[in-house]
């Protein structure tokens, strides 16, 4: 599970950052579904 913007960066067609390229070489990633940020906010209370 990761932040939505980060997830989009990891699965983008073009990769500029070499660190992300290394991750993509080792892991197969895809966006399955969104998780509401309210779930995390609830645990902080």
pLDDT averaged per 10 residues in sequence order, the chain, 45 residues:
74 80 81 78 59
Query: Are 26 and 10 within 8 A, CB to CB?
Result: no
- 30 with 11: CB under 8 angstroms? yes
pTM for this one? 0.46
User: What per-residue confidence (pLDDT) applies to 39?
Assistant: 73
- The pLDDT value recorded for residue 45 is 56
Q: Please report the pLDDT score of residue 42 as a whole number.
A: 59
Q: How far apart are CA 40 and CA 38, in angstroms?
A: 5
Q: Taking the alpha carbons of 10, 12, 28, 23 in that order, is the dihedral positive or negative? A: negative
User: How many whole angstroms separate alpha carbon 17 and alpha carbon 24?
Assistant: 11
């Amino acid at each position: 599970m990761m932040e939505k913007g980060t997830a989009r960066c990891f699965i983008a067609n073009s990769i500029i950052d070499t660190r992300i390229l290394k991750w993509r070489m080792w892991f197969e990633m895809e966006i399955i579904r969104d998780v509401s940020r309210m779930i995390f906010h609830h645990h902080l209370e």
